[in-house]
Amino acid sequence: MGRQKRTRRTDPDRTAGRRSEVQGEGGLLPVRPRPFADELFSSWFMRLAHANTQRLPYFSFHMTGHHNFWTRDPDRSLRAEVARALSGATGLPLDTIVALTLRPLVGRVIPTLPPRSQVRWVTPLNKRGYLCERPGLSFCPACLREGLYLRQTWRLSFVGLCQHHGCLLLDACPACDAPYAPQRNDLGHGQDWSVQPEPPFGCCATCGADLRRGDASPGDAPLLALQGWMLQGADTGVLPWPGQGDVPVLEGFDVLHQLLTVALTRGMQVHLTGACGLLGLKQPSARPNRTFEDHILPDRRTLLQHLDFLLQGWPDQFVRTCQAAGLPKSPLVHHLHPVPAWYGAVADRLSRQGGRPPPQLGSLAAHLDLAGLTRERDGAPTPSERRRWTILWHYHQGPEVATVARRLGVSWDLVRRTVTRYNAQGPEGIREVKRGRPSPRKRLLTAEQEEELRLALTTTPMSYAEMADWVEARVGRRPNTTTLWIYRRGVDSHSREGRRATSG
């Protein structure tokens, strides 16, 4: 027999016993610092260990029962049992602890928050083997001088400036260029931060340099305004889009990330840095699928400046820039599901369906105003006529063939023919020609022949070939299978209503 694989299991009783070694009487920790209003969960957890003079690996294991607590991002995937244990050990409400994580961003900035995979608008915690090649956590030296803790906004990829001091954020040590990862001060380095007078948020984990010294460079005012607009939308749940009005904040952030993806395309980068005179990237993308979060912090600030340029005079300047860069519609909606209607209307202006741009027909002729079109649409006797009036009703408010076709799910050609007929013939060209008159259906057999066929079918079973011979002998024409099905079923047409009438 092969040797059975041994797995490590955590005993709840042993875990509770280890917690008692750290906790005092009543299950509470001796020192329980309260979190700041804008603090990250990982920051508060590290301050909690430091306040109780415990090394971070020891404190993490004895409080959570997991040896691999820091291999996952605790700001993204805080387990429910860990949150309950911390609530009992600190006396804080469970909701207060969960609010320190990135979970409140779900439904506003991000649709979901998986524990491991890359998430848009969120940077990693430099936790993979305590090192990470991707850009991660950023910091503000002035903020660290005022308070030694990590701010929640420092995990957002679109935050490149300090909203409070207006200076540039940093993501690496100015002395050794090591990534900012304060948890590495006590994870895997053999250092004991529990004996230090301050939490190690202000020193480099690699060279030990003081990150609070020096003054950061001032930030760009338009970029600071763009960042403040995005942060305000994330807080309020509504994003006031320029030239569009208020849009749902999750839709707005999805479109903003899509615009950054468009700005990263080769043709757009060449046009923005050449004809538009904007700054280029310090480290251009070496692979085509590199996302906004994969770029270093200075390049993310540059891309946000490109985004600010595209949003000015929305949507006309954006459309003109895409046309000058030679971009079609497909990069604007690639991997964007679902496409918001207001953004899809802008993308349709760059559509090249069938290798041709959508036809430009101009405005509607002044036969009827919008109220008259509404009356005709609501009073249309048939679905086909109502559809034509609906096309005209939408076209009257926005004379864009591609926009109307996409909104109603019809072809460009139908919109073009409807508008052309209305401009040439007026309302009479849109109304049904046979309005008010019944449309008689042509029957292959007379009423007497149909009755004779029904009697023959009830007395003698007949195949479709025999039925076709029977009909051909009486009318001189061989019917198709659909007509034979109609007569066999005894319905008026091969339609949904006819099939439903004989079902069951």
Average pLDDT per 10 consecutive residues for the chain, totaling 504 residues: 47 48 64 93 92 86 83 87 92 94 93 85 68 72 93 94 93 87 68 72 85 85 95 93 91 96 91 87 74 90 95 92 90 88 87 64 85 91 90 86 82 89 89 59 78 86 88 89 80 45 42
C-beta neighbour count of 59 within 10 angstroms = 22
Domain-embedded: residue 280: yes
Question: Rounded distance, CA 63 to CA 306, Å?
Answer: 46
The residue from 312, 328, 355 where one domain ends is: 355
In this structure, are 244 and 304 located in the same domain?
Answer: yes
In this structure, are 131 and 174 located in the same domain?
Answer: yes
Does residue 247 sit in helix, strand or coil?
A: strand
Question: Rounded distance, CA 290 to CA 121, Å?
Answer: 14
In this structure, are 164 and 58 located in the same domain?
Answer: yes
- Nearest CA to 182 out of 194, 199, 169 is that of 199
C-beta neighbour count of 497 within 10 angstroms = 9
- Nearest CA to 76 out of 34, 40, 31, 30 is that of 40
- pLDDT score at 15: 47
Domain-embedded: residue 63: yes
Amino acid at 394: H
- pLDDT score at 23: 54
Given a contact cutoff of 8 angstroms between Cβ atoms, the answer to whether 464 and 484 are in contact is yes
In this structure, are 410 and 289 located in the same domain?
Answer: no
Domain count, the chain: 4
The residue from 183, 202, 221 where one domain ends is: 202
pTM score, whole prediction: 0.67
Domain-embedded: residue 405: yes
Domain-embedded: residue 283: yes
In this structure, are 389 and 485 located in the same domain?
Answer: no
- pLDDT score at 349: 83
In this structure, are 295 and 403 located in the same domain?
Answer: no
Given a contact cutoff of 8 angstroms between Cβ atoms, the answer to whether 228 and 161 are in contact is no
In this structure, are 49 and 196 located in the same domain?
Answer: yes
Domain carrying residue 297: 237-355
The answer for residues whose C-beta is within 8 angstroms of residue 325's C-beta and 6 or more apart is 265, 267, 268, 270, 271, 272
In this structure, are 17 and 127 located in the same domain?
Answer: yes
The residue from 327, 355, 383 where one domain ends is: 355
Domain-embedded: residue 228: no
Domain-embedded: residue 7: no
Given a contact cutoff of 8 angstroms between Cβ atoms, the answer to whether 321 and 311 are in contact is no
Amino acid at 465: A
In this structure, are 319 and 374 located in the same domain?
Answer: no
Question: Rounded distance, CA 176 to CA 174, Å?
Answer: 6
Q: How far is CA 315 from the centre of its chain?
A: 20
- The 3-class SS string of 348-375 reads HCCCCHHHCCCCCCCCCCCCCCHHHHHH
Domain-embedded: residue 223: no
Q: Which residues pair with 156 in a beta bridge?
A: 122
Tally: H helices and E strands in the chain = 21, 2
Domain-embedded: residue 434: no
In this structure, are 173 and 129 located in the same domain?
Answer: yes
3-state DSSP helix/strand/coil % of the chain, to nearest 5: 50, 5, 45
